Amino acid sequence: MEKFSNTYSVRSLEISPNYRLQREYAGFYFQEIFAEFCASKKMAGYDMARMGLTWLISDAEISYSPNEMPFWREKVELEVEAVEITPLFFNVALRMRSSELNVANGKYRTLIADAKTHKPKKFTDFIDRFPNISAQKTDFEKFEISGEKIGEVPQKVRLPDLDFNRHLNNARYLPRAVESMPENVREEKHLVLSRLKFIKEARLGDEILSETFKKDNSEFFHKLSRKSDGTTICIAKTIWQ
């Protein structure tokens, strides 16, 4: 099987007032382990840039364990596994553990595209770099925004938000999406699942509108859109208990 793992320490930048990792920031660690996995295959962002290519994430999903999130400076074990290659997509499974307990499981649907036009390239051209892929089929739930609008927050893309492509970092979309939720929901409930569909990119200086819609007491939908033209850049679904 094609796997890669590493251990990190919980950083102060991603902790809540109780000094534990905030669930919506688990994606930062998943993104880091995925990037290291790609680097081990000589497919890091800078490797792809030399070929005039770039990585894009199409979909992301994370389910969170009922176990307590790890404490500040506590070690977390991350693992990524290549599970499926289709003509266009590279799908991976992600796992986070701490103190021998499961913390979160995730999956990404990614693709490689032309750096200038963002036209997708055939991922099968890179299949020889993954000779032991497990070949599991990976499905991502399709969903549409629905429910009563219960919050909105205007945001601006700033320098610390950018990735190496000078776009809004994918790991920052979920924290921005849930920012427009009522504070009492975020404080009284625990995030148990997040599902994101990335549609467009946001750049430095863009004004983003984060909107939250309530389906019921546990299920919420979110939309991030560019205020200047109304373009939707990401939609998300979260479940809280």
Q: Are residues 9 and 123 in the same domain?
A: yes
Handedness of CA 144, 147, 153, 154 (dihedral sign): positive
Q: Quick one: 86 and 37 in the same domain?
A: yes
Shared domain for 107 and 173, answered yes or no, is no
| Residues 153 and 122 placed together within one structural domain of the fold | no
Domain of 120 in residue numbering reads as 3-129
Task: Return per-residue pLDDT of the chain as tens, 241 residues.
Answer: 799 999 999 999 999 999 999 999 999 999 999 999 999 999 999 999 999 999 999 999 999 999 899 999 999 999 999 999 999 999 999 999 999 999 999 999 999 999 999 999 999 999 999 998 877 888 999 999 999 999 999 999 999 999 888 899 999 999 999 999 999 988 899 999 999 999 999 999 999 999 999 999 999 999 999 999 999 999 999 999 9
Neighbours of 177 (CB within 10 A): 27
Q: Do residues 124 and 162 share a domain?
A: no
On whether residue 137 sits in a domain, the answer given is no
Q: Are residues 79 and 113 in the same domain?
A: yes
Query: Does residue 22 fall inside a structural domain?
Result: yes
> Do 104 and 173 share a domain, yes or no?
no
What total of structural domains would you count in the chain? 2
Nearest to 208 by CA among 223, 233, 227: 227
Q: Are residues 170 and 75 part of one domain?
A: no
CATH number (domain holding residue 89): 3.10.129.10
**pTM as predicted:** 0.94
How much of the chain is helix, strand and coil, in % rounded to 5?
20, 45, 35
Domain membership of residue 135 (yes or no) is no
Quick check: is 84 in a domain? yes
Same domain flag for 183 and 116? no
Here the tokens at position 134 are: 């497990």
